[in-house]
Structure 1
Amino acid sequence: MDALHTAGIRFAEALQSGPPWLEKFWISVTSLADPKSIFTVCFPLAYFLDRKVGVSVLWIGLVSEWLNVVLKWFLFGERPFWWVHESGLATKELVMLRQFPVSCETGPGSPSGHCMITGAALWPLVTALTALASRHSRSLVVNLTPFGAYTLLQLAVGLSRVFVLAHFPHQVVGGILAGAALGWGLQARTPATCTSGFFMATALALLLSSLALHSLVIAAGIDIDWSIRLATKWCSDPSWLRLDTRPFASICRDTGSALGLGLAAGFPLHRGEPLDPRQRVAGAVLALVAIQGLHRLLQPTDATLWYGTSFLKYAAGPWLVASLLPWLVLSLRPPTGLPPRRVGVPTVSRLVLHPPSWLCP
């Protein structure tokens, strides 16, 4: 394993010795492909492209991220920015490596979450775009463009993770393969139900199983937080250490998002009417602004309060996107051919009798 890690360090050195302008490119790619973007950018955009695709993106994203955390807990993957020191390689040989603000991830390194979660969650979106292209063109190039872009994106994300010393190449490859397999396998298994019970139960199950696994590993005498200790020890700048890179930050994101889907199912504010193209664009813009504004609210510095606030933000996001904003768009600009809707809070009968169409296909 040391030989594999050493080869990865040399590969990272080669990437960092490239043209200076590439540095900003790699850092931008790794920042944009952060798993948080699936919940705050990709889901809102996909939802207003197609409701079922949007829910599938969010569902696969939260399931794959939870699985990624579990795999990291049990695979004990090193990260380059601390391994190069802990292994003694930096004292034995000349190693020309630099850290960046995005380098100091605090969770274990295997497999790459950026590659695995992004690859899995984008799979239904890429499949939908491929189907759309095939309906409008017989050109093989056009039909293969979505999957070609997906492949290039995964390659760029993987290289960016090696460049910033967050992952070794074999961890990136494992993340890419796992992400594609999960996306393909889970796409047809996105749950469709008329009640919120399933999503609520999923949120509870994800949270309790994570706490149980964490407790069992600790009871077995294993230091499950070893990666946080090493990241704190070897990060060049303490301000680069972020709570949102810890495993339990991902658990809060996943359980909150599952609860948010349950809230959207249990408290819908519209009948699931189709949106015209202008309404879709307006809804997507409003969703991005609302979600970004929500997540830019200041977080408390206390770790427990930080986790709680993060959970609430990710629970609110799906309800905003799947319930409040579509109702608002329809209220402000009713679809052509339908009588004007009364602007106001829907009655209880609407909430109960008319759940969103994506929950009752």
Structure 2
Amino acid sequence: MEGVHVAGLRFAALLQSGPPWLEPAWVALSSAADPRHLFTAAFPLCWWLGPAPGAALLWGALVAEWLNVVLKWLLFGERPFWWVHESGMAAREPLGLRQFPVTCETGPGSPSGHCMVTGAALWPLVSALSSLVSARSGSPVLRIIPFAAYILLMVAVGLSRVFVLAHFPHQVVAGILAGAVLGWGLQGRTPGSPRAFACAALVLPLSALILRWVLRAAGLDIDWSLRLAAQWCSSAAWLRRDSRPLASLWRDAGSALGLALAAASPAPRLGPWQRLAGAAAAVAAVQGLHRLREPQDATLWYGSSALRYAAGPWIVASLLPRLLAALGRVGGAPHRE
């Protein structure tokens, strides 16, 4: 693998030597493609455009992220920002590589979570949009446009991750392919019952934690990447707790539980203007929820994170629709003398 890693770092150096005006775009795209935003921004907006696509997006995101964590624990993938130093390449072949605030991911590197989770979550939406375009236009050429946009987006996300030294090129290719295959496999298979979502909230993190225990019992150092990230990150402030594999597991468990709570209390039917207002309110509410002050203790932080991600889908798909329906009835009630 050393030859693959060396070639990947040289490719990253080539990207970083490009036009300076591209740097902010690469960094912004890498940040925007963080899987967290699928849970806190894309899902609230998408659900109000259509509950079924919204639920499919969140379900695809949480299943893909769980599988991504499992694969990372099994594959022990290096990350460029620490491998260039650990391998001695930084001393042998100075490339002038730079780190950025989005560089210092703390989990293993293979496959890319940004590519895999985003690709899996967006696939059902792209497929549905393609079918809609085909049904309305009848043109096979127009039908491929959503998939072409999907491919371009995923390639751009992959390049951005290589640019910021978060991944090697082969890791983003693996992430893109895994995400597309998983998204295709999950298409049309989103559970509809609260029990199914509740079971997922229990089974997904429990199975991953059992795997973690088995690997540690076998003598493997499952936290090796945390130490390397802390050692070679240019700034300690760039090391985010929510980039750890355990944070992803609690995010997935909380989101599945939130879907269970939402499915247990179906939303009322709303008009177009109510849905438009609901979309804006949903994004604002979930973003505000995740900007609340977080506890410093690690155990409390993980518990708080799970609760926030559980509250998000319930607020978006149950609480806000009921509030808007109630406001609509009050606003439409006739005045009495």
Question: For the superposition of Structure 1 and Structure 2, which TM-score range results when normalised by the shorter chain?
Answer: over 0.9
Q: Which residue of the partner structure matches residue 276 of structure 1?
A: 271
* Distance in 2 (alpha carbons) for counterparts of 1:79 and 1:216: 24
Classify the secondary structure of the residue corresponding to 2:102.
Answer: coil
Q: Which residue of the partner structure matches residue 321 of structure 2?
A: 326
Give a deviation string over 1:106-133, Cα, whole Å, max 9, x none: 0000000000000000111112222222
Q: Which residue of the partner structure matches residue 300 of structure 2?
A: 305
Q: Which residue of the partner structure matches residue 288 of structure 1?
A: 283
Q: Which residue of the partner structure matches residue 50 of structure 2?
A: 50
Q: Map 1:327-342; keep pairs closer than 5 Å.
A: 327-333=322-328
* Distance in 2 (alpha carbons) for counterparts of 1:191 and 1:277: 26
Q: Which residue of the partner structure matches residue 41 of structure 1?
A: 41
Q: Map 1:167-182; keep pairs closer than 5 Å.
A: 167-182=167-182
**Contact kept in structure 2, 1:235 and 1:241, CA below 8 Å:** yes
Q: Map 1:138-157; keep pairs closer than 5 Å.
A: 138-157=138-157
Q: Which residue of the partner structure matches residue 137 of structure 2?
A: 137
State the AA in 1 paired with 2:32. L
Unmatched runs of 5 consecutive residues or more in structure 2: none
**Contact kept in structure 1, 2:66 and 2:205, CA below 8 Å:** no
**TM-score of the two chains, using structure 2 as the length reference:** 0.95
Q: Which residue of the partner structure matches residue 221 of structure 1?
A: 219
* Distance in 2 (alpha carbons) for counterparts of 1:142 and 1:287: 32
**Compared CA separation, residues 192 and 22, structure 1 to 2 (3 A):** same
* Distance in 1 (alpha carbons) for counterparts of 2:283 and 2:257: 20
Q: Map 1:14-33; keep pairs closer than 5 Å.
A: 14-33=14-33
* Distance in 2 (alpha carbons) for counterparts of 1:340 and 1:320: 25
Given candidates 198, 219, 223, the residue that maps to 1:200 is 198
Classify the secondary structure of the residue corresponding to 1:189.
Answer: coil
* Distance in 1 (alpha carbons) for counterparts of 2:42 and 2:141: 24
Q: Which residue of the partner structure matches residue 236 of structure 1?
A: 234
1:134 Cα deviation from its structure 2 partner: 2.4
**Contact kept in structure 1, 2:192 and 2:263, CA below 8 Å:** no
* Distance in 1 (alpha carbons) for counterparts of 2:140 and 2:328: 39
**Compared CA separation, residues 215 and 282, structure 1 to 2 (3 A):** same
Give a deviation string over 1:13-43, Cα, whole Å, max 9, x none: 0000001111100011011110011111111
**Contact kept in structure 2, 1:46 and 1:125, CA below 8 Å:** no
* Distance in 1 (alpha carbons) for counterparts of 2:181 and 2:211: 24
Q: Which residue of the partner structure matches residue 257 of structure 2?
A: 259
Q: Which residue of the partner structure matches residue 207 of structure 2?
A: 209
* Distance in 1 (alpha carbons) for counterparts of 2:232 and 2:209: 27
Number of equivalent positions: 334
**TM-score of the two chains, using structure 1 as the length reference:** 0.89
Percentage of identical aligned residues? 63
Q: Which residue of the partner structure matches residue 70 of structure 2?
A: 70
* Distance in 2 (alpha carbons) for counterparts of 1:229 and 1:94: 24
* Distance in 1 (alpha carbons) for counterparts of 2:143 and 2:277: 28
Classify the secondary structure of the residue corresponding to 1:118.
Answer: helix
Runs of 4+ in 1 over 3 A off after TM superposition: 138-142
**Contact kept in structure 2, 1:104 and 1:166, CA below 8 Å:** yes
1:164 Cα deviation from its structure 2 partner: 0.2
Unmatched runs of 5 consecutive residues or more in structure 1: 342-361
**Contact kept in structure 2, 1:64 and 1:182, CA below 8 Å:** yes
Classify the secondary structure of the residue corresponding to 2:188.
Answer: helix
* Distance in 2 (alpha carbons) for counterparts of 1:296 and 1:136: 41
RMSD: 1.8
Give a deviation string over 1:151-205, Cα, whole Å, max 9, x none: 1110110000000000000000000000000000011211122xx2222221111
**Contact kept in structure 1, 2:268 and 2:322, CA below 8 Å:** no
